[in-house]
Amino acid sequence: MATKSKSPKGKTKKKPAAKTVKAKPDAAEGLRDLFEDELKDIYGAEKALTKALPKMIRNATSEDLIDALTDHLDVTTRQVTRLEEVFESIGQKPQAKKCEAMSGLVKEAEEIMQETEKGVVRDAAIIMAGQKVEHYEIATYGTLCAFARTLGEETAASLLEETLTEEKDADNTLTQIALSSINLEASQVEEGVEEESAE
Ligand SMILES: [Fe+2]
Ligand SMILES: [Fe+2]
């Protein structure tokens, strides 16, 4: 097999220079700037989620799932307030930025609901969409906690850690609901057959 990196004469081809991203004029200059930017992003994300969760609740049919999502909506509302405390603890005014990732995750949740009939299969889809959101939040809060600790912002770090624990709990609850009944029930729904409303 001929190697693509060498020309027929054995000369190494010049690789095109990889393009790097040009920084915006207001780009973060240090870890503190980056920390504050990401705080604004997750603040926007949590706010967006308080608007998206009610639709997921309305579309769910399993009582366990409805309870879990309703509970997490309350938790999310408190997380918004907790983020305001985080901003305060670092001497900043709370400011929200549109979170592109959350907006994509919410859009995907809507899509997957459109692609499933209301019932256990849609419930399984809602759990999947919900867990994608939780994993995004876990990654974000984990990083923010580490940034806060490095920056010596202990109050912010412990507030963020509280939220991180809540997100992990929500993720575990969704896993349990999926594994205890919904996935199995969804697997028994025959394609092309109307779902029975009562057991
Ligand atoms: Fe959250
Ligand atoms: Fe969450």
| Residue pLDDT, tens place only, 85-103 | 999 999 999 999 999 999 9
The neighbourhood of ligand 2, an ion, using CB within 5 A, equals: 137, 167, 170
Q: What angle is formed at CA 89 by the lines to CA 84 and CA 90, rounded to 5 degrees?
A: 105
Question: Separation of 6 CA from ligand 1 center, angstroms?
Answer: 51
Question: Separation of 105 CA from ligand 1 center, angstroms?
Answer: 13
Which ligand has the minimum distance to the alpha carbon of residue 172? 2
Which ligand has the minimum distance to the alpha carbon of residue 135? 2
Question: Over pLDDT 90: what percentage of the chain?
Answer: 82
CA distance 21 to 13: 24
Cα–chain center distance at 10: 49
Query: Residue 31: is its pLDDT beyond 50?
Result: yes
Question: Separation of 6 CA from ligand 2 center, angstroms?
Answer: 51
CATH architecture of 31-187: Up-down Bundle (1.20)
Model-wide pTM > 0.75? yes
For the chain, the domains span 31-187
Which ligand has the minimum distance to the alpha carbon of residue 129? 2
Query: Residue 195: is its pLDDT beyond 80?
Result: no
Please report the pLDDT score of residue 28 as a whole number.
86
Cα–chain center distance at 8: 49
